[in-house]
Amino acid sequence: MQVTFCGAAGSVTGSCFWIKTENMEFLVDCGMFQGSKEEREKNRREFLFNPGNIRYVLLTHAHIDHSGLIPRLYLQGFKGEVLCTHATKDLAGVMLPDSGHIQEMEAEWRSRKKARLGEPPVEPLYTAAEAVQCLQHFASVGYGEIFELGPGVRVRFSDAGHIFGSAIIEVWVEEKGETTKLVFSGDLGQANQPIIRNPQLIENADVVFIESTYGARKHENKEDRVERLREIIIESVASGGNLIIPSFAVGRTQDLLYHINLLLKEGKIPALPVYIDSPMAVSATEIFRNHNECFDWETVQLLRAGDSPFEFPTLHYVRQVEESRALNENARGSIIISASGMCEAGRILHHLKHNLWRPESHVLFVGYQAAGTLGRRLLEGAKVVKLFGEEIRVQAKIHNIDGFSAHADQDGLLQWLKGFTKRPGQIYLVHGEEETMEEWAPIVQREIGIAPVVPAWGDSYELRGYHATLVQTMQETTDQKRALLRMLKNVEFDYLNLKNYVHQQIDQMDDAAIEKLAKQLRDLQAKIRKVG
């Protein structure tokens, strides 16, 4: 079996893993690269695989950095099925057409710009209509069901506790009489967050692919983050401006509503207007109401008592463009929650344009901001930003609360890894920026006792049980220094793989086998010492 990292390797976004067994090929996720222009351009390069050979896509959840290239996959010849949980299927039905609409708008804007230079137009990655068309190939399964994907391959989805419908995917692959179990964490949620259940612990795995978004950071605790939210709301009310909250339409928006509702009920904030200005967030909230299988016990009890966290007297859902524009003309002293969460598209850009220059306004970030995004630039203290071709001076107060992230932090990731009853043979760190990996990898080695692998885009590994061999690497740079450092990492990986093997097998080796291996290692050591 061979696993190739087609995304989320050396970056947070673009989740895509290509698994090729002796009988079939399938993907785990097919997500869009997000962030800087350079990252987004990666969405237009050729897939590393032939889409026509892929039989299934196993989708961990509906966020666009995990699902956003599925329509393009169909356009390139994929004729198989996308398998996901029931809630993910419904959410994808909202999110992918919305993504297609954004692709059309962005292509139109870039084409106008190119026309002025006498250059050919830009085609969208896919259209909203094409996204809708691909949805007919989605099929859903329940949590906990083990099903056969094909000859020698079985699969199970377990709750990842990240957003509604998010899943950890377990894959059993049998080849030549030996079974290898892969576990893909998807995006892991925080324990004890509102509305949804905790990430499920997995008992065993030969190979684990774990997300690392916050591997080098720790979130504020629950009490501190809610108190910070209260303080920021009170401060915005006192200054007489709006509180603008860029938020992902799925997951983060609903968490915020839960906490704002509680603060209102407890009388800790005044009854100010709250606007959800995102058609997708409105639709996603409606979907949430229909999937009780994803709620935690506390939310189930609230709903049974008729107290929905998604409804309170001062809450207004905004669908129409005219209503959204009216907010920028009339709303003062309001909370406006709008997408996208990284401020790369959507109605949030209009609200920022009308509020960033106002000293009385406040902007609150409650989620991860990828490198190169407008959200990251604002968090890093940009004094001037460009919106719709106009330079805007940043005079609003910028706030950030890490604790509302839907991702597990360093402690949460370690807790999940320590939940395996038997230590995995290999751990691959994915979905993380390079700087994060440099800090996170040694922590995993110290706490778990396994030297993890940090793959690069295009790396392919041959897997069999605990054993892994790097069979292909594709450099995205011609920088010889970086290529050399990458080669050193590969050598280090091979050494650590050998070390793990020796520790596991040494008690079963006879004296002759030990002496043979010792001689090979002495010869190898002598060659290494001659280098340089």
| Digit-coded pLDDT (tens) for 321-355 | 888 888 888 778 899 999 887 888 888 999 999 99
Shared-domain flag, residues 192 and 272: no
Does residue 242 lie in a domain region?
Answer: yes
Does residue 93 lie in a domain region?
Answer: yes
Does residue 485 lie in a domain region?
Answer: no
Shared-domain flag, residues 166 and 229: no
Domain end residue (candidates: 344, 378, 404): 404
The pairing of beta strand 390-393 with beta strand 397-400: unpaired
Say yes or no to pLDDT of 475 above 60: no
Say yes or no to pLDDT of 93 above 60: yes
The mean pLDDT of 392-397, rounded to a whole number, is 96
- CA distance linking residue 95 with residue 517, whole number of Å: 55
Residue 271 belongs to domain with CATH number: 3.40.50.10890
Does residue 486 lie in a domain region?
Answer: no
Residue 478 banded pLDDT, cuts 50, 70, 90: very low
Domain end residue (candidates: 387, 404, 421): 404
More confident residue, 250 or 428: 428
- CA distance linking residue 405 with residue 275, whole number of Å: 20
Shared-domain flag, residues 395 and 362: yes
Does residue 488 lie in a domain region?
Answer: no
Residue 446 banded pLDDT, cuts 50, 70, 90: very high
Note the pLDDT of residue 477: 46
Note the pLDDT of residue 113: 82
Give per-residue pLDDT as tens, 505-525.
788 888 888 888 888 888 888
Give per-residue pLDDT as tens, 230-248.
999 999 999 999 999 998 7
Counted domains in the chain: 3
**Preceding amide of 239 cis, omega within 30:** no
Does residue 462 lie in a domain region?
Answer: yes
Shared-domain flag, residues 398 and 411: no
Note the pLDDT of residue 210: 98
Shared-domain flag, residues 306 and 168: no
Output phi, psi for 524, to 5 deg: -65, -40
Say yes or no to pLDDT of 476 above 60: no
The mean pLDDT of 91-107, rounded to a whole number, is 92
Give per-residue pLDDT as tens, 45-78.
999 999 999 999 999 999 999 999 999 999 999 9
Say yes or no to pLDDT of 460 above 60: yes
Does residue 484 lie in a domain region?
Answer: no
Q: Coil, strand, or helix at residue 280?
A: helix
Shared-domain flag, residues 58 and 85: yes
Note the pLDDT of residue 483: 61
Shared-domain flag, residues 170 and 285: no
| First-last CA distance in the chain | 36
Does residue 481 lie in a domain region?
Answer: no
The mean pLDDT of 480-492, rounded to a whole number, is 65
For 435, the domain range is 2-217+406-476
Shared-domain flag, residues 49 and 138: yes
Which two structure tokens, joined as six digits, stand for 350? Answer: 């209009």
Could you give the C-alpha distances from 413 to 42, 104, 407, in angstroms and in order? Answer: 28, 37, 9
| Other Cβ atoms within 10 Å of 274 Cβ, number | 23
Q: To 10 degrees, what angle do helices 222-239 and 252-265 make? A: 70
Q: Which of 119-123, 366-370, 466-470, 501-505: highest mean pLDDT?
A: 119-123
Helix spans in 116-246 (H): 128-134, 222-239
Shared-domain flag, residues 321 and 173: no
CB 216 within 8 A of CB 239: no
Say yes or no to pLDDT of 224 above 90: no
Domain end residue (candidates: 404, 439, 467): 404
Residue 361 banded pLDDT, cuts 50, 70, 90: very high
Shared-domain flag, residues 213 and 228: no
Note the pLDDT of residue 104: 93
The mean pLDDT of 35-41, rounded to a whole number, is 85
Shared-domain flag, residues 50 and 171: yes
Shared-domain flag, residues 172 and 63: yes
Residue 113 belongs to domain with CATH number: 3.60.15.10
State percent of the chain over pLDDT 90. 59
